[in-house]
């Protein structure tokens, strides 16, 4: 049976960092809606143009657009054994749509892994994050810089600061998370699917806690 995990948490908590490791261990497709939008931006598609106007100001892209994009991604062969979702769902409407999409395949979400950290930690991490423009690999200027300044270790792509990591947009994204996405915590808790993980630990320790939570859930 296919497996579906959701990596849930505020901007900058480390979802992408953990997903890179988890997807290898769990052998699941990593489906990150932020990465999918950034890929559309790079390819200058109509969807990318539309998403840009929301992403640049730290707002959520409308639900119908986001859900449609995930529905398309779910047709790809690499998702047939399941997915590690990162940054989706982000609203109740998205969560309900995901349930419907999975139910059509006779599947459901196995586990929501909620990584959490206080706002000050999020701002520090976002302020020092650098990202590969080509492959999306995440770095940190303070704790995890690329070996050669500005160059991705994996693909030699350009390492840049995401436009939505500017201070004024960071703050907005955290507020949007608190208003529109945090209500999902109770939604998932109500379904008995949620485990909370302390994100204020080393990358290795967070990873270890995530794996323990997955093992405990018997998945």
* Contact stretch for ligand AP5 (CB under 6 A) within 39-47, 50-58, 76-84, 152-160: 50-58
How many C-beta atoms surround the C-beta of residue 59 within 10 A?
15
Helix locations, the chain, DSSP H: 15-26, 33-43, 46-55, 63-73, 92-104, 119-127, 167-176, 183-190, 203-216
The residues that touch Mg ion, with contacts defined as CB under 5 A, are: 16
Q: Which residue in 21, 203, 211, 219 binds ligand AP5 (CB under 6 A)?
A: 203
Pairing relationship of beta strands 82-86 and 29-32 according to DSSP bridges: parallel
Q: d(Cα 179, Cα 175) in Å, to the nearest integer?
A: 6
Q: Match 């990150």 to its residue by tokens.
A: 32
Interaction between residue 188 and ligand AP5 (CB under 6 A): no
Q: Which residue in 4, 5, 8, 88 binds ligand AP5 (CB under 6 A)?
A: 88
- Residue closer to ligand AP5 by CB (options 54, 189) is 54
Interaction between residue 187 and ligand AP5 (CB under 6 A): no
Name the minimum Å distance from CB 106 to Mg ion. Answer: 29
* Catalytic residue list: 15, 90, 129, 162, 173
- CA nearest neighbour of 116 among 178, 209, 199: 199
DSSP character for 111?
E
Residues that bind ligand AP5 (CB under 6 A): 9, 11-17, 33-34, 37, 54-55, 58-61, 66, 87-88, 90, 94, 125, 128-129, 138-140, 143-144, 164, 173, 201-203, 206
């Amino acid at each position: 049976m296919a497996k579906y995990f959701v990596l849930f948490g505020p901007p900058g908590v480390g979802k992408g960092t953990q997903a890179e490791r988890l997807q290898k261990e769990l052998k699941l497709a990593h489906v990150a809606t932020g990465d999918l939008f950034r890929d559309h931006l790079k390819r200058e598609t109509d969807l990318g143009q539309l998403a840009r106007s929301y992403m640049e100001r730290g707002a959520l892209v409308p639900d119908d657009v986001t859900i449609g994009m995930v529905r398309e991604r779910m047709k790809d062969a690499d998702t047939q054994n399941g997915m590690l979702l990162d940054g989706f769902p982000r609203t109740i409407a998205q969560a309900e749509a995901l349930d419907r999409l999975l139910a059509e395949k006779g599947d459901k979400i196995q586990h929501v892994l909620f990584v959490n950290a206080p706002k000050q930690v999020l701002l520090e991490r976002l302020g020092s994050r650098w990202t590969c423009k080509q492959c999306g690999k995440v770095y940190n200027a303070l704790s995890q810089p690329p070996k050669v300044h500005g160059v991705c270790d994996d693909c030699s792509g350009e390492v840049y600061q995401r436009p939505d990591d500017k201070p004024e947009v960071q703050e907005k994204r955290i507020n949007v998370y608190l208003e529109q996405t945090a209500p999902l915590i109770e939604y998932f808790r109500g379904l008995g699917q949620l485990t909370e993980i302390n994100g204020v630990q080393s990358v290795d320790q967070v990873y270890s806690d995530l794996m323990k939570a997955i093992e405990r859930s018997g998945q």
